[in-house]
Amino acid sequence: MKVNHLDHVNIITEDVSGTARFYADLLDLDVRDGPGGMRADLVQWVYDDAGRPIVHVNKAGSFTPLGRSPKPGADTNALHHVAFNCNGHGEMVTRLSDRGLAFAENAVPAIGLKQLFVTDPNGVLLELNFYEA
């Protein structure tokens, strides 16, 4: 057994369509309904350009495996951040600024990495990683 890669992240929210649009607009992703007749008001999936559903957005209270009922908001418990490997650092700085989103920058020159940190509408911290070629 081995882990191949991170499959997706699930975000619990009171605003399914707004959260899905945030990810789609900011990260150039595609919002689609969940498979198998899932109700669009309860779940939206956000896909990358390779057709992989990388962010699942669920309405608070609609997804409770193992009896868990996470609440959206600034306190995301043990989850510190979600990281995305990205391209186009300068373009992303412009997008964040144009949207009036507060963000922080970091650089790790030893590995050719520039990072941007921004929170989604539910308080989830996003780490956007840009590796220099």
Q: Does domain 79-133 fall into CATH 3.40.50.1100?
A: no
**pLDDT over 70, % of the chain:** 92
**106 Cβ contact partners less than 8 Å away, ≥ 6 residues apart:** 114, 115, 117
DSSP letter assigned to residue 111: G
Question: What's the confidence (pLDDT) of residue 36?
Answer: 84
What's the confidence (pLDDT) of residue 74?
62
Question: 75 pLDDT exceeds 80?
Answer: no
User: Pairing between strand 125-131 and 82-86?
Assistant: parallel
Of the CA atoms within 13 Å of residue 69, those in its CB half-sphere come to 2
Domain ranges within the chain, ordered by starting residue = 1-66, 79-133
pTM score, two decimals?
0.85
For the residues 77-95, what does the mean pLDDT come to?
89
Mean pLDDT of 99-123: 93
- Residue 16 has a CB neighbour count (10 Å cut-off) of 22
pLDDT tens readout for residues 4-27: 778 899 998 899 999 999 999 999
What is the model's pLDDT at position 107?
A: 94
pLDDT band at 95 (very low <50, low <70, confident <90, very high): very high
**Exposure class string for 73-90: b at 16+ Cβ within 10 A, else e:** eeebeeeeebebebeebe
Distance CA 69, CA 60 (A): 8
- Amino acid identity of residue 130, one-letter, is F
The pLDDT assigned to 56 comes to 92
Residue 126 has pLDDT above 70, yes or no: yes
Domain covering 1-66, topology:
2,3-Dihydroxybiphenyl 1,2-Dioxygenase; domain 1 (3.10.180)
